Amino acid sequence: MSAPTVPPVLTPLMRGYEWGTRYVFAEPPRMALGAMGNLLSRRSGSSLEFMEHREYLPGDDLRRIDWNAFARSDRLAVKMYREEVHPQVDLLLDCSRSMRLAETRKNEAALALAGFFAATAAESHFSFAVHLAEEGCRKLGRSNLLPSEWEPFEFNGTQSPAESLERMAPAWKPRGIRIVISDLLFPADPDTLVSRIATESAVAVFVQLLAEADAEPPGHGNLRLTDVESGERMEFYLDAGARERYQSNLARHQENYHLACRRHGAHFTTVRAESFLENPDPGDLLHAELLRYK
Protein backbone atom coordinates (compact mmCIF):
# COMPACT_ATOMS: atom_id res chain seq x y z
CA MET A 1 0.00 0.00 0.00
CA SER A 2 1.40 3.40 -0.97
CA ALA A 3 1.83 6.13 1.62
CA PRO A 4 -0.84 8.84 1.67
CA THR A 5 -0.05 11.87 -0.45
CA VAL A 6 0.90 14.97 1.53
CA PRO A 7 -0.59 18.16 0.04
CA PRO A 8 2.33 20.29 -1.24
CA VAL A 9 1.20 23.28 0.84
CA LEU A 10 1.63 21.33 4.08
CA THR A 11 5.32 20.54 3.68
CA PRO A 12 6.66 24.13 3.87
CA LEU A 13 3.98 25.09 6.42
CA MET A 14 5.03 22.33 8.79
CA ARG A 15 8.75 22.89 8.14
CA GLY A 16 8.24 26.52 9.11
CA TYR A 17 6.24 25.46 12.15
CA GLU A 18 9.09 23.24 13.31
CA TRP A 19 11.58 26.11 12.92
CA GLY A 20 9.30 28.49 14.82
CA THR A 21 9.15 26.26 17.91
CA ARG A 22 12.64 27.49 18.83
CA TYR A 23 11.38 31.02 19.52
CA VAL A 24 8.80 32.96 21.50
CA PHE A 25 7.52 36.48 21.13
CA ALA A 26 9.52 38.76 23.37
CA GLU A 27 7.71 41.27 25.52
CA PRO A 28 7.91 44.48 23.48
CA PRO A 29 9.47 47.29 25.54
CA ARG A 30 6.08 48.96 26.06
CA MET A 31 4.40 45.82 27.45
CA ALA A 32 4.24 44.21 30.88
CA LEU A 33 2.39 41.15 32.07
CA GLY A 34 -1.02 41.90 33.57
CA ALA A 35 -3.98 40.11 35.11
CA MET A 36 -5.99 37.41 33.33
CA GLY A 37 -3.00 36.51 31.14
CA ASN A 38 -3.25 39.76 29.17
CA LEU A 39 -0.37 42.13 28.63
CA LEU A 40 -0.19 45.69 29.88
CA SER A 41 1.36 48.41 27.76
CA ARG A 42 3.36 51.29 29.13
CA ARG A 43 1.03 53.51 27.12
CA SER A 44 -2.03 54.84 28.90
CA GLY A 45 -5.35 53.13 28.38
CA SER A 46 -8.33 51.80 30.28
CA SER A 47 -7.23 48.72 32.19
CA LEU A 48 -7.55 48.46 35.98
CA GLU A 49 -3.83 48.80 36.75
CA PHE A 50 -2.87 52.28 37.93
CA MET A 51 0.19 53.77 36.24
CA GLU A 52 0.64 57.44 37.23
CA HIS A 53 -0.98 60.85 37.67
CA ARG A 54 -1.00 63.77 35.29
CA GLU A 55 -2.42 67.27 35.53
CA TYR A 56 -6.14 67.62 34.78
CA LEU A 57 -6.93 69.10 31.36
CA PRO A 58 -10.30 70.44 30.16
CA GLY A 59 -12.26 67.60 28.57
CA ASP A 60 -10.78 64.85 30.77
CA ASP A 61 -13.16 62.29 32.23
CA LEU A 62 -14.19 63.70 35.63
CA ARG A 63 -14.47 60.17 37.01
CA ARG A 64 -10.68 59.86 36.76
CA ILE A 65 -9.92 62.84 38.97
CA ASP A 66 -8.01 61.73 42.07
CA TRP A 67 -9.74 63.71 44.84
CA ASN A 68 -7.35 62.41 47.48
CA ALA A 69 -4.44 63.89 45.52
CA PHE A 70 -6.42 67.15 45.20
CA ALA A 71 -6.90 67.28 48.98
CA ARG A 72 -3.15 66.87 49.49
CA SER A 73 -1.89 69.29 46.84
CA ASP A 74 -4.86 71.54 46.00
CA ARG A 75 -4.24 70.64 42.33
CA LEU A 76 -6.51 68.61 40.08
CA ALA A 77 -4.89 65.44 38.75
CA VAL A 78 -6.28 62.48 36.83
CA LYS A 79 -5.31 58.84 37.24
CA MET A 80 -3.64 57.15 34.28
CA TYR A 81 -3.99 53.40 33.75
CA ARG A 82 -2.03 50.98 31.64
CA GLU A 83 -3.41 50.10 28.24
CA GLU A 84 -4.45 46.47 28.10
CA VAL A 85 -2.84 44.48 25.29
CA HIS A 86 -4.30 41.20 24.06
CA PRO A 87 -1.82 38.33 23.49
CA GLN A 88 -3.14 37.81 19.95
CA VAL A 89 -1.13 37.48 16.73
CA ASP A 90 -2.92 38.38 13.50
CA LEU A 91 -1.00 37.46 10.35
CA LEU A 92 -1.94 39.05 7.02
CA LEU A 93 -0.66 36.88 4.16
CA ASP A 94 -0.40 38.31 0.65
CA CYS A 95 -2.06 35.68 -1.56
CA SER A 96 -1.67 37.55 -4.85
CA ARG A 97 -0.19 35.74 -7.84
CA SER A 98 3.06 37.66 -7.53
CA MET A 99 3.77 35.57 -4.42
CA ARG A 100 4.09 32.43 -6.56
CA LEU A 101 6.62 33.84 -9.00
CA ALA A 102 7.54 31.21 -11.58
CA GLU A 103 10.84 29.37 -11.16
CA THR A 104 11.33 30.68 -7.61
CA ARG A 105 10.69 29.37 -4.09
CA LYS A 106 8.78 32.48 -3.07
CA ASN A 107 5.43 30.85 -2.25
CA GLU A 108 7.23 28.05 -0.41
CA ALA A 109 8.99 30.62 1.77
CA ALA A 110 5.71 32.50 2.38
CA LEU A 111 4.14 29.29 3.66
CA ALA A 112 7.17 28.51 5.81
CA LEU A 113 7.03 31.99 7.35
CA ALA A 114 3.32 31.60 8.10
CA GLY A 115 4.03 28.28 9.83
CA PHE A 116 6.99 29.85 11.64
CA PHE A 117 4.88 32.61 13.20
CA ALA A 118 2.08 30.17 14.04
CA ALA A 119 4.55 28.10 16.06
CA THR A 120 6.10 31.14 17.74
CA ALA A 121 2.63 32.29 18.80
CA ALA A 122 1.83 28.80 20.15
CA GLU A 123 5.10 28.64 22.09
CA SER A 124 4.27 32.07 23.56
CA HIS A 125 0.75 30.89 24.52
CA PHE A 126 -0.72 33.61 22.26
CA SER A 127 -3.80 33.08 20.14
CA PHE A 128 -3.19 33.19 16.39
CA ALA A 129 -5.15 33.83 13.21
CA VAL A 130 -4.28 34.07 9.52
CA HIS A 131 -6.02 36.57 7.25
CA LEU A 132 -5.63 36.04 3.50
CA ALA A 133 -5.30 39.12 1.27
CA GLU A 134 -7.06 37.96 -1.89
CA GLU A 135 -10.02 39.86 -3.37
CA GLY A 136 -10.58 41.50 -0.01
CA CYS A 137 -9.27 39.99 3.22
CA ARG A 138 -10.77 36.88 4.75
CA LYS A 139 -9.90 34.92 7.86
CA LEU A 140 -8.48 31.49 7.08
CA GLY A 141 -10.57 28.74 8.58
CA ARG A 142 -9.01 26.72 11.42
CA SER A 143 -5.86 28.87 11.39
CA ASN A 144 -5.94 28.83 15.19
CA LEU A 145 -4.97 25.15 14.99
CA LEU A 146 -1.84 23.40 13.74
CA PRO A 147 -1.05 24.33 10.10
CA SER A 148 -1.86 20.75 9.10
CA GLU A 149 -5.48 21.56 10.07
CA TRP A 150 -5.75 24.85 8.17
CA GLU A 151 -8.23 25.15 5.35
CA PRO A 152 -6.54 24.86 1.92
CA PHE A 153 -5.68 28.08 0.09
CA GLU A 154 -3.73 29.22 -2.97
CA PHE A 155 -1.71 32.21 -4.10
CA ASN A 156 -4.14 33.17 -6.82
CA GLY A 157 -5.40 36.63 -5.88
CA THR A 158 -5.56 39.47 -8.38
CA GLN A 159 -5.47 42.32 -5.86
CA SER A 160 -2.60 43.67 -3.80
CA PRO A 161 -2.86 43.73 0.00
CA ALA A 162 -3.52 47.49 -0.19
CA GLU A 163 -6.47 46.89 -2.52
CA SER A 164 -7.68 43.96 -0.43
CA LEU A 165 -7.66 46.10 2.71
CA GLU A 166 -9.69 48.77 0.92
CA ARG A 167 -12.23 46.21 -0.24
CA MET A 168 -12.62 44.32 3.04
CA ALA A 169 -10.28 44.77 6.00
CA PRO A 170 -9.67 41.98 8.53
CA ALA A 171 -11.43 42.01 11.88
CA TRP A 172 -8.20 42.72 13.74
CA LYS A 173 -8.05 42.12 17.46
CA PRO A 174 -7.21 45.53 19.00
CA ARG A 175 -3.87 45.91 20.79
CA GLY A 176 -2.48 42.66 19.41
CA ILE A 177 0.60 41.83 17.32
CA ARG A 178 0.04 42.23 13.56
CA ILE A 179 2.38 40.69 11.00
CA VAL A 180 2.27 41.24 7.24
CA ILE A 181 3.99 38.84 4.82
CA SER A 182 4.17 40.31 1.32
CA ASP A 183 6.64 41.23 -1.41
CA LEU A 184 5.25 44.80 -1.16
CA LEU A 185 5.90 45.15 -4.90
CA PHE A 186 2.73 47.03 -5.73
CA PRO A 187 1.81 50.70 -6.09
CA ALA A 188 0.60 52.05 -2.75
CA ASP A 189 1.56 54.80 -0.35
CA PRO A 190 3.69 53.10 2.34
CA ASP A 191 2.68 55.61 5.01
CA THR A 192 -1.04 55.01 4.42
CA LEU A 193 -0.64 51.22 4.39
CA VAL A 194 1.57 51.09 7.49
CA SER A 195 -0.70 53.48 9.38
CA ARG A 196 -3.76 51.42 8.54
CA ILE A 197 -2.23 48.21 9.86
CA ALA A 198 -0.33 49.65 12.84
CA THR A 199 -3.21 51.73 14.22
CA GLU A 200 -4.61 50.23 17.45
CA SER A 201 -2.02 47.42 17.44
CA ALA A 202 0.48 46.69 20.19
CA VAL A 203 3.14 46.24 17.51
CA ALA A 204 3.09 45.76 13.72
CA VAL A 205 5.69 43.92 11.65
CA PHE A 206 6.14 44.10 7.88
CA VAL A 207 8.06 41.15 6.44
CA GLN A 208 8.98 41.89 2.83
CA LEU A 209 9.53 38.54 1.15
CA LEU A 210 11.54 38.69 -2.07
CA ALA A 211 12.78 35.97 -4.37
CA GLU A 212 16.31 36.29 -5.72
CA ALA A 213 14.72 37.15 -9.08
CA ASP A 214 12.87 40.07 -7.46
CA ALA A 215 16.02 41.54 -5.96
CA GLU A 216 18.56 40.61 -8.64
CA PRO A 217 17.20 40.93 -12.20
CA PRO A 218 19.08 39.15 -15.04
CA GLY A 219 22.31 40.69 -16.29
CA HIS A 220 21.27 41.81 -19.77
CA GLY A 221 19.33 40.80 -22.87
CA ASN A 222 15.85 40.86 -24.37
CA LEU A 223 13.13 40.13 -21.85
CA ARG A 224 9.42 39.44 -22.04
CA LEU A 225 7.63 40.20 -18.79
CA THR A 226 4.11 39.13 -17.92
CA ASP A 227 2.21 40.74 -15.05
CA VAL A 228 0.92 37.64 -13.26
CA GLU A 229 -2.04 39.53 -11.83
CA SER A 230 -3.22 41.53 -14.86
CA GLY A 231 -1.84 39.32 -17.64
CA GLU A 232 -0.28 42.37 -19.33
CA ARG A 233 2.87 41.61 -21.34
CA MET A 234 5.83 43.86 -22.06
CA GLU A 235 9.04 43.33 -24.01
CA PHE A 236 12.20 45.35 -23.50
CA TYR A 237 15.98 45.16 -23.56
CA LEU A 238 17.64 45.01 -20.16
CA ASP A 239 21.08 46.57 -20.07
CA ALA A 240 23.35 47.55 -17.20
CA GLY A 241 21.72 50.98 -16.90
CA ALA A 242 18.19 49.56 -16.67
CA ARG A 243 19.32 47.01 -14.12
CA GLU A 244 20.92 49.73 -12.00
CA ARG A 245 17.76 51.85 -12.18
CA TYR A 246 15.64 48.88 -11.07
CA GLN A 247 17.82 48.22 -8.05
CA SER A 248 17.90 51.91 -7.17
CA ASN A 249 14.10 52.10 -7.34
CA LEU A 250 13.77 48.97 -5.20
CA ALA A 251 16.14 50.41 -2.57
CA ARG A 252 14.17 53.67 -2.51
CA HIS A 253 10.89 51.72 -2.22
CA GLN A 254 12.29 49.78 0.76
CA GLU A 255 13.56 52.96 2.40
CA ASN A 256 10.08 54.48 2.11
CA TYR A 257 8.70 51.49 4.03
CA HIS A 258 11.47 51.80 6.62
CA LEU A 259 10.57 55.46 7.16
CA ALA A 260 6.83 54.77 7.34
CA CYS A 261 7.39 51.99 9.88
CA ARG A 262 9.57 54.22 12.04
CA ARG A 263 6.92 56.94 11.97
CA HIS A 264 4.22 54.54 13.15
CA GLY A 265 6.27 52.47 15.60
CA ALA A 266 6.27 49.38 13.36
CA HIS A 267 9.10 47.05 12.30
CA PHE A 268 10.27 46.38 8.73
CA THR A 269 12.50 43.55 7.57
CA THR A 270 13.33 42.02 4.19
CA VAL A 271 13.66 38.25 3.80
CA ARG A 272 15.12 36.48 0.77
CA ALA A 273 13.01 33.41 0.04
CA GLU A 274 15.81 31.08 -0.98
CA SER A 275 18.06 32.13 1.91
CA PHE A 276 15.32 31.70 4.52
CA LEU A 277 14.53 28.18 3.33
CA GLU A 278 18.19 27.22 3.59
CA ASN A 279 18.85 29.06 6.87
CA PRO A 280 15.67 30.13 8.72
CA ASP A 281 17.29 32.85 10.79
CA PRO A 282 14.96 35.68 11.96
CA GLY A 283 17.95 37.84 12.83
CA ASP A 284 16.32 41.25 12.31
CA LEU A 285 13.33 40.32 14.47
CA LEU A 286 15.62 39.06 17.23
CA HIS A 287 17.64 42.26 17.03
CA ALA A 288 14.43 44.33 17.21
CA GLU A 289 13.49 42.35 20.35
CA LEU A 290 10.26 41.13 18.83
CA LEU A 291 11.39 37.49 19.11
CA ARG A 292 13.76 35.73 21.46
CA TYR A 293 15.11 32.22 21.82
CA LYS A 294 13.19 29.91 24.16
Domains of the chain: 10-29+88-293 (3.40.50), 43-85 (no CATH)
Q: Which stretches does DSSP call E strand in the chain?
A: 23-25, 31-33, 39-55, 77-85, 88-94, 127-134, 136-139, 177-182, 203-210, 221-226, 233-238, 267-272, 291-293
User: Using one digit for the tens of pLDDT, what is the confidence trace for 18-41?
Assistant: 999 999 998 654 444 443 344 444
The band of 3, judged by pLDDT with boundaries at 50, 70 and 90, is very low
Interval 206-216 mean pLDDT: 95
Cβ(277)–Cβ(105) under 8 Å?
yes
12 backbone dihedrals φ, ψ, rounded to 5°: -65, -35
Q: What is the pLDDT of residue 75?
A: 85
3-class DSSP assignment, residue 200: coil
Closest CA to 86 of 118, 41, 140: 41
User: Using one digit for the tens of pLDDT, what is the confidence trace for 82-92?
Assistant: 544 458 999 99
User: Using one digit for the tens of pLDDT, what is the confidence trace for 229-275?
Assistant: 555 666 666 677 878 888 999 999 999 999 999 999 999 999 999 99
d(CA 113, CA 94): 12
Average pLDDT, the chain: 84
Q: What is the pLDDT of residue 30?
A: 45
Higher pLDDT, 53 or 180: 180
**The pTM is what?**
0.78
Q: What is the pLDDT of residue 216?
A: 87
The band of 223, judged by pLDDT with boundaries at 50, 70 and 90, is low
Interval 186-214 mean pLDDT: 96
Q: What is the pLDDT of residue 1?
A: 44
d(CA 64, CA 52): 12
The answer for residues whose C-beta is within 8 angstroms of residue 51's C-beta and 6 or more apart is 42, 44, 80, 81, 82
Cβ(273)–Cβ(12) under 8 Å?
no
Q: What is the pLDDT of residue 47?
A: 47
The band of 48, judged by pLDDT with boundaries at 50, 70 and 90, is very low
d(CA 146, CA 270): 26
User: Using one digit for the tens of pLDDT, what is the confidence trace for 114-160?
Assistant: 999 999 999 999 999 999 999 999 999 999 999 999 999 999 999 99
Q: How far is CA 56 from CA 65, 70, 81, 82, in A?
A: 7, 10, 14, 17
3-class DSSP assignment, residue 250: helix
Interval 94-106 mean pLDDT: 94
Whether the predicted pLDDT of 80 surpasses 90: no
